[in-house]
């Protein structure tokens, strides 16, 4: 099985007529994802290489039965695009947009929580999600992902998401689903959300988790793992050498005082029984050993 998306997922691309939406949306389609439509206000009736374009998410859902959306629009338009997808009844929204102000992210997060509890947002500023061989929504290269199982992946970092996938593929280890949650301060989907889904998925037997400096998400995940996870977890935390007070790559990757350091996160994860690698390749090696023992 897989979590959140599979071969039955029907995707619309908000921003399909733009350069990024077209490039990645058509790549997702070429991978085998059911990309059933695009949404660009004012361009309804057009098509992008055979994919119909609609004026609104509501129109797209009514005519295609879409149950997922891929938001690939600029930062100014992205918050409203997410809420429009939720208002149309779409249960799963992936937003790759980088540069959305934190206050806008917080507003969208809370509006979804209050008014659209049936909609899950992945992102913003994330690579998306791939259930290898079944569905790919976002910018993850499908060719680096080995289908099958028994490993689930969740990562804050986009490039480390790709490395986790490829480290496992090189070892012949399949992945049920790989979720890139993004590195912004207010992600729509958390480590805990993904760990919970993997714990409930019978085909996911182990989980690899890639974190980074900043915030407390990894410590919260460690607490959840200690209390709720029966499956083995391997982790890597980026940013051991990052200086305090400097933003490192992601908007959420900033150490404040003694909080949010890589060492504190690694200590919390180890205390929860997680095997922690000192680099991504070591994490992959640790997972290979875990898979042998399953």
Name the DSSP class of 8.
Answer: T
Active site includes 24?
no
Strands 51-54 and 206-212: unpaired
CB 82 within 8 A of CB 95: yes
Place of tokens 């008014």: 115
Using CA atoms, how far residue 281 sits from 157, 262, 274, 288, in Å, is 15, 17, 16, 11
- Which residue out of 24, 134, 250, 265 is catalytically annotated? 250
- Cβ-based neighbours of 234, under 8 Å, separated by 6 or more: 206, 207, 208, 209, 274, 275, 276, 277, 283, 286, 287, 290
Using CA atoms, how far residue 105 sits from 13, 92, 122, 186, 253, in Å, is 20, 16, 12, 6, 16
CB 209 within 8 A of CB 234: yes
Place of tokens 């480590």: 191
Using CA atoms, how far residue 242 sits from 36, 59, 112, 131, 253, in Å, is 43, 47, 34, 32, 10
Distance CA 153, CA 175 (A): 7
Reading across the β-sheet that carries 174-180, which strands appear in turn? 135-138, 128-131, 174-180, 150-155, 206-212, 233-238, 275-277
Residue 95 phi, psi (nearest 5)? -120, 115
Residues recognised as catalytic: 250
């Amino acid at each position: 099985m897989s979590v959140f998306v599979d071969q039955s997922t029907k995707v619309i691309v908000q921003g399909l007529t733009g350069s990024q939406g077209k490039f990645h949306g058509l790549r997702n389609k070429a991978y085998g994802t059911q990309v059933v439509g695009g949404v660009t206000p004012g361009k309804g009736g057009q098509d992008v290489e055979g994919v119909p374009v609609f004026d609104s998410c509501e129109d797209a859902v009514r005519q295609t039965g879409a149950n997922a959306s891929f938001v690939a629009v600029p930062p100014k338009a992205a918050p409203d695009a997410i809420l429009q997808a939720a208002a149309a009844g779409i249960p799963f929204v992936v937003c790759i947009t980088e540069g959305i102000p934190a206050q806008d992210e917080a507003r969208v997060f809370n509006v979804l929580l209050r008014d659209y509890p049936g909609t899950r947002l992945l992102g913003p500023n994330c690579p998306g999600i791939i259930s290898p061989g079944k569905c790919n929504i976002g910018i993850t290269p499908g060719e680096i992902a080995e289908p099958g199982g028994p490993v689930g992946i969740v990562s804050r970092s986009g490039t480390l998401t790709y490395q986790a996938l490829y480290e496992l593929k090189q070892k012949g280890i399949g992945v049920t689903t790989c979720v890139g949650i993004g590195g912004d301060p207010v992600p729509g989907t958390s480590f805990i959300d993904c760990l919970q889904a993997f714990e409930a998925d019978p085909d996911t037997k182990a989980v690899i988790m890639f974190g980074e400096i900043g915030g407390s998400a990894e410590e919260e995940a460690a607490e959840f793992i200690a209390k709720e996870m029966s499956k083995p977890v391997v982790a890597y935390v980026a940013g051991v050498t990052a200086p305090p007070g400097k933003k490192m790559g992601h908007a959420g990757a900033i150490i404040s005082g003694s909080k949010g350091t890589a060492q504190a996160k690694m200590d919390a994860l180890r205390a929860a029984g997680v095997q922690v690698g000192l680099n991504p390749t070591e994490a992959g090696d640790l997972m290979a050993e875990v898979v042998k023992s399953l």
